[in-house]
Structure 1
Amino acid sequence: MEDCAVSFWIYIGVMSILVGGAVKKFLTFQIGAMPSVVAWLGATLLVERLCALCMPAVLARLVLCVSCWLYFTWATPKPFLPVEGKAVFITGCDSGFGNATAKRLDAMGFEVFATVLNLDGGGAKHLRRVCSSRLTLLQVDITQPQQVQQALLDTKAKLGMRDLWGLVNNAGLCVNIGDAEFSLMSNYRGCMEVNFFGTLTVTRTFLPLLRQAKGRIVTISSPSGEHPFPCLASYGASKAALNLFTNTLRHELEPWGVKVSTILPSAFKTGQSSNTEYWEKEYKNLIQNLPPSLLEEYGEEYLLETKELFQSYAKTANEDLSPVINTIVDALLSPQPQVRYYAGPGLTLMYFICSYLPLSISDRFLQKLFVQKKVMPRALRKQQGLSLNDNNNSIKENMNNSNNNSFTKIID
């Protein structure tokens, strides 16, 4: 009888630990954490069944000890590594994630090397005003190998005998407002030059310092590099190349003790994304350079709707950059950083649908998630006998719907 009473209370303790751990993981749920969540649920079910069979008190105590060990090993977050003496190099700090990361890391006590395109620009002036003397601003266009090499020399001169702990590859470019067929080749090349080749150049240049420190490489990528978002072919292709390079690098640098992490943000208001003049300029450039035959087949109203959709999504993007900045800090200071971080709302659902549901469902989901186009290309409308007025009304209706749609859109 006494053994049964002891077993009962131990059963309550074990189930509280396991269920509490499972709930905690669900509250911070990410697709990358799926195996550990499943493991917790499996362990909870197994212990529940054992306890239902009135296990002996000795066995119940053993299960309690194992459960406590698992809880404190898996569920309790490890303390961050100390910041003191650590230096980090960050690209693309004129605005957005880079600017916010430079400020956060400087406030934490890091020695920050922040690259900007314009040393006299608003972003650089803001960093000089709010950051400490530890922060060093460097003018670097990452598509220019000579400037990257000079940045390495300047960084080494400032560090002296000290190590470079981290590299944050943040600089990126998205210049696309249309379908893959009529997107300008300059857009494809521009995205590849900055997002892939530029990041590749910086990473290779600074790798000797990072290997010496057994440090960290943190790269800001995009879900569009893993999923086929309509109208983001040039940007997505460059990020896909970047993702493969980063994953390969992660395997190769493991023996050196260098940790490599990739961050995949959801929709945030960064860079030129909320600049109306920027979108107008890109649209006019597209119209002027598009072959007349292709413009006739798609129709200017089709291109106009796409531009309006991009502007609408940019206006409703999240202005709070802290989810991304927090993951950067975790990747730099966690004893065991994650290989992939999903930063921002909506990504868990999107990755679950795209990873586990049939292709027909995931394709339809992506089409509805990003560009809810109403206007058909002009050539297709002629085949179906639709008038231009019908589609002009569709444009207005689509704009109203997109403004009322609060679901997360994926564009960096």
Structure 2
Amino acid sequence: MDDYTLPFWIYLCVLTMFVGGAMKKILASHLSTAPTLVAWLGATVLVERLWAFCLPAVLLLTLLGLTCCIYSATRTGPPSTNLPAHGKAVFITGCDSGFGKAAAKRLDTLGFEVFATVLDLSGEGARELQRTCSPRLTLLQVDITQPQQVQQALLDTKAVLGLRGLWALVNNAGVCVNFGDAELSLMSNFRGCMEVNFFGTLNVTKTLLPLLRQAKGRIITISSPAGDQPFPCLAAYGASKAALNLFIDTLHHELEPWGVRVSTILPAAYKTGQSSNHAYWEQQHKQLLQSLSPALVEDYGEDYINETKELFQSHASQANPDVTPVIDTIVQALLSPQPQVRYFAGPGVGLMYFIHSYCPYSLSNLFLQKLFMKKKLMPRALRKQSGFDLNLSLHNNNNNNEEEEEEKLK
């Protein structure tokens, strides 16, 4: 062992940390592969490097396998007792439909005191909540982009709670108002996404924080993988979620001394809100074409823009209508004695983050393109350029052939 240099030891330590981190990431990624199998695959990499130490391979594998089995047993063992829901008040934004409405109904059933915000108190979603939920549920008409309405919601909530604090805030309200390349996305779309997804959520969170600190409660935010990974044609939405993710991650550190737990839920693709409304997509598409300059429409082509709309509609139609995994995750984050900082809700999200974290960028980017936007058309200007280059190449080849023929005749 005296023959090994300091750089080798450093390399070995770095490799060990990387493999250990990769194993931990895989085991936490909700992949279908058995955790013990993945752990043993990681162990073989360590064995290959540690063989130089002349350590008995069987002993080493036995120790590593035992460690992985113990870790796996602790993960699959009996769950810790959840906290009681009775007497706990939860404030949920965006309950007109989707995750918010389903969460309000589930939490009311479990015995929570729910404050559910809706955009329209006379809308279908609000009427359904009034019809199906207990008297414990309080409906509040709130547009989270309007500070006065958020302040009024605070006063209404305090009037019901009295001297009690607020156990949890579920930041669910969000919007995706654009589709298409960043250059084709209107500035109003970027601002609209930021106003709702970031500034609106920021305002609600800051407004309710005194009540949350009083109860040593929790903040649970429904975000999106688009805030961490560059999904094609979702620049406006992704940028707003990226800002939101950083804000929530910062709160996690800042509120820890206060006893407030902060969690982010990253769901897979589900049918929520306007995602399956074809009339909505057609209206957005028409508005986009009317707002773009003729030069941009000429460069990209109406067929290219139309293909993007159709791909979005296809992706939305294939999304899962059953939002149960997300609602189950919200309940887990609310009642777990030790809630996680981040939750992956739905199939494929853990795998996506693993590829994003550990694979080369080119592979991660290819994975996103194949998973999300399988575009076949190039922008019109690029198609013209490719055709021009091809014609120029054929012309040059013909000229070269003619010159060769002339040389042979001479």
- Short-chain TM bin: 0.7 to 0.9
1:206 paired residue number: 208
Matches of 1:41 and 1:136, distance apart in 2: 51
Residues 287-366 of structure 1 correspond to what in structure 2 (within 5 A)? 287-366=289-368
Aligned to 1:5: none
Residues 1:267 and 2:272 aligned together: no
CA distance in structure 2 between the partners assigned to 1:168 and 1:38 by the alignment: 35
CA 197–52 in structure 1, closer or farther in 2 if over 3 Å, else same: closer
Match of 1:217 among 197, 216, 219: 219
Report the secondary structure of 1:154's partner residue.
helix
Distance 1:71 1:373, change over 3 A: closer
User: Which amino acid counterpart does residue 107 of structure 2 have in structure 1?
Assistant: L
Residue 165 of structure 1, CA deviation: 0.2
1:168 aligns with 2:167: no
Please name the residue that 2:98 is paired with: 96
After superposition, give the CA deviation of every residue in 1:130-184 in whole Å (9 maximum; x if it has no partner): 1000000000000001100000000000011222100000000001111001100
Q: Which residue of 1 aligns with 2:9?
A: none
**Cα 1:137–1:210 shift into 2, 3 Å:** same
Q: CA deviation at 1:30?
A: 6.1
Deviates more, 1:369-378 or 1:88-97: 369-378
Map 1:219-258; keep pairs closer than 5 Å. 219-258=221-260
Number of the residue aligned with 2:52: none
Cα pair 2:193 2:237 within 8 Å, conserved = yes
The equivalent residue for 1:408 is none
Alpha-carbon separation, structure 2, partners of 1:219 and 1:49: 46
Structure 2 CA distance for partners of 1:331 and 1:347, relative to 1, 3 Å: same
C-alpha deviation, 1:27, in angstroms? 9.6
Separation in 1 of the partners of 2:387 and 2:97?
47
Q: Is the 8 Å Cα contact of residues 94 and 116 (structure 2) preserved in structure 1?
A: yes
Matches within 5 A, 1:391-402: none
What percent of counterpart residues are identical? Answer: 68
Secondary structure (helix, strand or coil) at the match of 1:164 reads coil
How far has the Cα of 1:376 moved from its partner? Answer: 1.0
Question: Which runs of structure 2 are paired with 1:33-182 in the superposition (5 Å)?
Answer: 71=73, 75-182=77-184
Runs of 5+ unmatched residues, structure 1: 1-21, 56-62, 387-412
3-state DSSP class of the match of 1:262?
A: strand
Compute the RMSD of aligned alpha carbons. 3.1
User: Which amino acid in the other structure matches residue 29 of structure 1?
Assistant: H
Distance 1:338 1:384, change over 3 A: same
Letter in 2 for 1:309: L
- One-letter code of the match for 1:215? G
> Given the superposition, is the C-alpha separation of residues 103 and 52 from structure 1 closer, same or farther in structure 2, using an over 3 Å criterion?
closer
2:30 match? 29
Task: Indicate how the Cα distance of structure 1 residues 80 and 179 shifts in structure 2: closer, same or farther if over 3 A, else same.
Answer: same
Task: Show the counterpart of 2:198.
Answer: 196
Distance in 2 (alpha carbons) for counterparts of 1:362 and 1:292: 34
Note closer, same or farther for the CA distance 1:189–1:384 as it changes in structure 2 (3 Å cut).
Answer: same
Offset at residue 346 of structure 1 (A):
1.3
TM-score computed with the length of structure 1 as normaliser: 0.79
Q: In 2, are the aligned partners of 1:196 and 1:239 still within 8 Å (CA)?
A: yes
Measure the CA separation in 1 of the matches of 2:332 and 2:306. Answer: 41
Task: Report the Cα offset of residue 369 of structure 1.
Answer: 1.1
Q: TM-score, normalised by structure 2?
A: 0.79
Q: Is contact 1:30-1:342 (8 Å) kept? A: no
Residue number in structure 1 paired with 2:185: 183
- Report the number of matched residues: 351
1:29 is displaced (CA, Å) by 2.4
Report the residue type matching 1:295 in the other structure.
V
Please show how residues 372-383 of structure 1 align to structure 2 within 5 Å: 372-383=374-385
Structure 1 CA distance for aligned equivalents of residues 318 and 358 of structure 2? 28
Structure 1 residues 70 and 148: CA distance shift in structure 2, 3 A: same
Runs of 4+ aligned structure 1 residues displaced above 6 Å come to: 39-42, 67-70
Give the greater-gyration-radius structure (CA). 2
